[in-house]
Amino acid sequence: MSTGTDTPARRPQRRLTLAASIVGAGASRKAWNWPGTTWNRFADWEHYRRSAEIARSGTLDAVFVSDHPALQRTADNGPSHLFDPIVLFSAIAGAIPDIGFVLTASTSYNSPYNLARRLASLDSIAGGRVIFNAVANFNPDIAANFLADELLDREDRYRKADEFLRVVKELWLSWDTPEGPEPTGPLWDETTARTIDHHGEFFDVRGPLNVPVGPQGHPVISQAGASAQGIDFAGKHAEIVYAALLGKQAALDYAATLDAAARRHGRPADSIRLFPGVNVYLGDTREEALRRHEVFSGAGSEDDLIARFLEQQRVLNPAFPRSVDVDRPLKAEWFEPQEDQTRPVGFSRAVQDLVRTEEPTTRQIIRLVGGAGGHRLVIGTPKEVADALIDWWAAGAVSGYNAHFPLLHDDLERFVQQVVPILRAESVFPTEYDSPTIRGRFGLPDPRTAHSTQENR
């Protein structure tokens, strides 16, 4: 979204960072029973281990697994989100070195102590390779599995999420074991294992945590909410933000918005790394890549995709008109999200920002996003895909990307074999891992230092 400035500041240049989403059988709804594949591989942990292994072979920074702790039973959805991500990544961490793990967990339907303990355990097992993607759930199917009679509104969800994060961060730093080969004092006392004695609106937690401070202090914290409350939450807590962004100028504006949110909460500018999602379709020629997108998008033609997009917008946005000329520029006011709705607002904001800055037609929007679930569509040859990824990064708009692939493992493996070498040849992506921890790779501060500084003020 626009910050009211014409020229947002460039973000400091670091190497490009990449993560791969490995949810289910792939990003396409057609992936799970694609001809020539094992139809139930989405329920086999080896499928996910192999995805992580392929990602590691290309020195990708992390693999991403979102979570939805309820069975998705709609006819047009393939099966996904079967395994608890913490359990799944605990198994993979012991089998695959180096690769990082991004996992989603709810601040609405977990207890802070239990989740802090499980995440700290995984981060210790993995040697400091965990990113915790905190979500303030709104889904009624999930709520029904957690004794929740009604959904909290967005304001209450984020107020609860804020308290949740404050508690888990205190717990993660509450027990610091002695350094050195032999302890010089007690294993724990009131100076090394501190109660947090938290008494808040939603939680009462004494502490300390019974898992010591981990290899990177504590897991890196990420977030993806694009509402006003989500942006404020990111400014206070997030070190990484995942986002749906469709235009380069919109990405520059959103990066500036996040920087401003961080500063409002006393954090330095550029405290937050921005990683938009991209849906990648590769081909030996652009025409082949376009055909692959046509097949995996589930639409028989561009007109079918346009019809699906228009129907979706009329559901999400009450101001969207019933009749639209698909070859005339869209209007930003048609995409104004409802701040009081229970649905997420990220896709509506992404389209609105693009419409405001670039004035595309409906047909042009479809060529940018296709059936990609709100994320930017990157279609083409390996060189075209690599150039598209470098473009936003070189402009200082993003730190990297969370890449989605229509079919796993095929498209991930092709990306690693054909796109990654081009990124390396352009000197924007590494040939080996440059730090054992995620914080080290992303240039993020050690929370133990920040915590000590705050205590001494």
If you search the block for the tokens 């960072």, which residue do you land on? 17
Note the residue count of the chain: 457
Classify strands 273-282 and 240-243 as parallel, antiparallel or unpaired. parallel
Whether residue 453 is annotated as binding a ligand: the answer is no
Query: Under a CB-based contact definition with an 8 Å cutoff, are residues 308 and 299 in contact?
Result: yes
Q: What distance in Å separates the CA atoms of residue 161 and residue 107, rounded to the nearest whole number?
A: 5
User: What does each C-alpha distance from 223 to 135, 230, 370, 425 come to in angstroms?
Assistant: 7, 8, 24, 32
Q: What distance in Å separates the CA atoms of residue 404 and residue 209, rounded to the nearest whole number?
A: 35
For the chain, the farthest-separated pair of C-alpha atoms sits apart, in whole angstroms, at 75
- Residues with Cβ within 8 Å of residue 389, at least 6 apart in sequence: 16, 278, 378, 401, 419, 423
Closest CA to 17 of 322, 408, 392, 371: 392
Q: What distance in Å separates the CA atoms of residue 412 and residue 418, rounded to the nearest whole number?
A: 10
If you search the block for the tokens 């206070």, which residue do you land on? 236
- Which tokens go with 268? 């330095």
Torsion of CA 207, 239, 129, 278, to 10 degrees: 140
Whether residue 254 is annotated as binding a ligand: the answer is no
**DSSP-derived secondary structure letter, 179:** P
Which residues partner with 239 through β-bridges?
none
Whether residue 281 is annotated as binding a ligand: the answer is no
Whether residue 67 is annotated as binding a ligand: the answer is yes
Q: What distance in Å separates the CA atoms of residue 90 and residue 76, rounded to the nearest whole number?
A: 31
Query: Under a CB-based contact definition with an 8 Å cutoff, are residues 225 and 343 in contact?
Result: no
- Which residues sit in the known binding site for FMN? 67, 104, 158, 227
- Which residues sit in the known binding site? 67, 104, 158, 227
